[in-house]
Amino acid sequence: MTTGINQAGSRRWQYLLFSVASLALLWQSQTLGATEFDYQEAQVDELQEAMTVGTLSAEDVVRHYYQQIARHNRRGADLRAVNQLLPLADALALARTLDAEREQGALRGPLHGIPVLLKDNIDTADGLANTGGSLLLKEHYPAADAFLVQRLRDAGAIIIGKANLSEWANFRSTASSSGWSSVGGQTKNPFDTSRSTCGSSAGSAAAVSANLIPLAVGTETDGSLVCPAAITGIVTIKPTLGLVSRGGIIPISHSQDTAGPLARSVRDAVYLLSAMLGEDTADSASYAAKVDFTQHLNADGLRGKRIGVMRDLMGYHSGLDAVLETQLQVLRDAGAIIVDDVEFVNGRGWGQDEFTVLLHEFKADLAHYFAQHPESPYRNLADLIAANQAQADAIMPFFGQELFTLAQGRSEADQEAYEAALKRAKQAAGPDGIDATLASQDLDILIAPTTAPAWKIDLINGDNYMGSASSPAAVAGYPHITVPMGFVHHLPVGLSFFAGANSEAKLIEAAYGFEQHTKARRAPALLPRHH
């Protein structure tokens, strides 16, 4: 492993497993003001108002969420959602600085003093390791913040720790259990701890859903934001590729990777997304947003929008489809024009090409990431494959590294085939897919159920994955929002809204309007269930 780690870095690693001593610290007393505030399902605006009038301070807020994590991460509901926390003293010091700014009237925006968790594949320079969920990287301490992390700090967010994830963002094995990593173990669904969170932003979604944190950042290549959000009953916005910088994130595919917000409401997701925006000159896809997304939080945002119901993204779960049917009338009542029985006009012919692209880019992009981290003992995928094999008992007790091996098999001889696959996939999902389908019936937005209800966790057989609406927007690099739309038995399910490139404003209007008319989100009981 890396040698010469500074003492601060080594000290912070002990927080990874939440020792008994650190748990005791987290349980220490709160101030009176903190106990008077009802944090359950608290929205950012409510926290801000309480801090403005003096009911709460940022210190109070930070203490509360540390306590919630202590209660339910490794005990209580045992969610395994959080891999690392800053030492409490460090987080409180950040909070005190922001409290002092507030007292002086210097507010940075909606996230001023709000705690945030980051998926454990995003670089920070605060002594938290960036592990990607792998024990191989447990002492990988980046020297600089990722660009989006800089933006969040500038916005006044208090980044308190790292959330568990599917190891290597679910791109190690064909038989993985979503939400499992060798660093954090198996993340569990707050609505039923015997069931999956989906992946790969498993811990980020579970922590937000369980009220362990107000907001979290996840990442997606295909489904890794929208699937865990839908399955844990929260909101996410997967943005257009390049709207949020890809810099400082352990990659899978530069053609599809993006970070995005996870929140319990559309408004809070918009606040978090807006804070991450900004053009990063070091990222070739990055661009500056030209829209203030908060101006599109319109409760009447569905009125007049032509919405196509994507029937060819349904049919894999009858209970899920039944929930959607009940929501179509809600959409109509809110003023939307529903165009039913829509299918992709040119089919869905991008699947194999997408897989080719991901394998090819993973090998190259990972090497590029490590080139920016000269302190790492790993330089490429081959190094990781060998190290995984050497530590197989700890790192691969349940599933292997078939995807690593397939990606390692790509070479310069495959470059031409890769470029052709990339061109075909982008064309099929984008211009010939989403764009052509929207144009065919003059539609504004396409909708479908996001994914099936949560399946049972099965470390032996892997995920029981039925279907999803994630791939079209993921492959095209287009935006996709999921919002809670109801329940199948005790399990939440989500409704997906997606459209063409840079259509976030329109999607936010529709998603916010839907949310305001349904109010389908509810908090989990945080009690183990075994149905």
Environment class of 179 (CB within 10 Å of its CB; exposed 0-12, middle 13-18, buried 19+): buried
CA distances from residue 490 to 228, 452, 453, 506 in whole angstroms, order as listed: 16, 13, 9, 31
- Residues 356-385: b if buried by 16+ CB within 10 A, e if exposed: bbbbbbbbbbbbebbeebeebebeebebbb
Cβ proximity of 307 and 337 under 8 Å: yes
245 is catalytic: no
Active site residue: 173, 200, 245, 470, which one? 200
119 is catalytic: yes
Instruction: Report residue 108 as tokens.
Output: 């940075």
CA dist., res. 414 & res. 487, Å (int): 45
Active site residue: 119, 188, 363, 426, which one? 119
CA dist., res. 2 & res. 129, Å (int): 12
Cβ proximity of 402 and 173 under 8 Å: yes
Strands 445-449 and 306-310 come out as parallel
Q: Which residue type occupies 80?
A: R
Sequence-distant (≥ 6) Cβ neighbours of residue 325 within 8 angstroms? none
- The full length of the chain comes to 531
Active site residue: 166, 177, 178, 224, which one? 224
Which strand (E) or helix (H) includes residue 367? helix 351-371
224 is catalytic: yes
CA dist., res. 317 & res. 328, Å (int): 17
- Please, how many CA atoms are within 13 Å of residue 64, restricted to the half-sphere of its CB? 25
In degrees and rounded to multiples of 5, residue 157 shows phi and psi of -70, 145
Angle 130-134-137 from CA coordinates, rounded to 5°: 45
Instruction: Report residue 115 as tokens.
Output: 């705690």
Instruction: Report residue 444 as tokens.
Output: 């504004």
Residue with tokens 């069931």: 195
Q: What is the 3-state secondary structure (H, E, C) of 470-531?
A: CHHHHHHCCCEEEEEEEEECCEEEEEEEECCCCCHHHHHHHHHHHHHHHCCCCCCCCCCCCC
CA dist., res. 385 & res. 402, Å (int): 10
Peptide bond between residue 200 and the one before it cis (omega within 30 degrees of 0)? yes
Residues recognised as catalytic: 119, 200, 224
